[in-house]
Amino acid sequence: MKILRREVSNTLARTDIWTVKPDSYDQKYLIFVTRPLSANGVLHGTILTDGNQVAGTAMQLASYLEMGDLIQGNVIISIGYPLDNALPAIVARNQDLTPTAWPAWDASYSKILQLPCPPSGRCDAFRSFIIDELKPELVAEFGIHPDEWMLGGHSLGGLFAIHTLLTGRASFKRYFAVGSSFWWHKPLMLNLAEHFSGSTQVREISVYLAAGELESGANTQKEWKKYMRSPDWQEYIRIMGGYPDIVKDTQDMAAILARCPGYRVKAETLANETHGTALFAAMSQGFRWLYQG
């Protein structure tokens, strides 16, 4: 990994912003690194996707949790994209967070957003960048304990986090996934989880899953009704296989993972939260449950 630029944020406390380029493929990322209030004791590392959206919230939350003696020594690392990136973050993330190529979905989503979408299915490369390039740099620079890492994400980021759990070389101890897009090539993720849960290996892993109450299939259909006059939206729903039921998918995933030896798993349905708001309601509860258990 090449660190192309380092700067101190003038808006986020105790936060440095790195512009980096992986050694293994051509892409630039913004890495927001927020240091804890105190560096005494064991340092934990929390890696979050969609840094453009979550870096500020994560910084504030980590500060309040530390001031309240709830979570100590947590370095927050949020991965985002430069604002001058060739593609906006909302679509650049698609290729990095998805486990399989889905050209029909790419084309349909592009029509809805009226933005060019890159090919999906590059999450293996993105994961290798995080595990093999980014994490060692952070361990060396900040002294984060090699065994005390969490990976978290929302929507496609939740898909990526749990796919990493199921395929990712046991690189994280804690996983945080909210509003997860387990509808991606469904039943791909549930099948992976079923296979994974058959292992007899005991591992001390904690997984927090959450969805907003308003992310059920019925509520999604109600919310998206206003778009259904559009042929592009009709095509999008058809390609997805119907309206996603993120609440049920989250509960189903949690039930499977709870069978894994040594796993702590918690799933919450957050009252009156939508797909867009569930992340923020889940962060405080989820972080505390993951680190205090």
Separation of alpha carbons 166 and 53, rounded Å: 26
The mean pLDDT value for 27-48 works out to: 92
The pLDDT value recorded for residue 136 is 96
**Taking the CB of residue 122, how many other CB atoms lie within 10 A of it?**
18
pLDDT in tens, 111-165: 999 999 999 999 999 999 999 999 999 999 999 998 999 999 999 999 999 999 9
pTM of the model: 0.96
pLDDT in tens, 85-95: 988 999 999 99
Query: DSSP letter string over 224-265?
Result: HGGGTTSHHHHHHHHHHTSS--HHHHHHHHHHHHTTSTTEEE
Amino acid at 99: P
pLDDT in tens, 152-207: 999 999 999 999 999 977 799 999 999 999 999 999 999 999 999 998 888 999 99
Nearest to 126 by CA among 155, 161, 76: 161
If pLDDT is split at 50, 70 and 90, which confidence band does 69 have? confident
Helices 51-67 and 278-292: angle between axes, nearest 10 degrees: 50
Tokens of residue 118, six digits: 């890159």
Separation of alpha carbons 273 and 213, rounded Å: 6
The pLDDT value recorded for residue 71 is 86
* Average pLDDT in the chain: 95
The pLDDT value recorded for residue 293 is 66
Fold of 2-292: Rossmann fold (3.40.50)
pLDDT in tens, 233-282: 999 999 999 999 999 999 999 999 999 999 999 999 999 999 999 999 99
248: CB partners within 8 A, 6+ apart? 216, 217
| 122 or 39, greater pLDDT | 122
- How large is the greatest C-alpha to C-alpha distance in the chain, in angstroms? 58
Tokens of residue 293, six digits: 């258990």
pLDDT at 55 exceeding the cut of 90:
yes
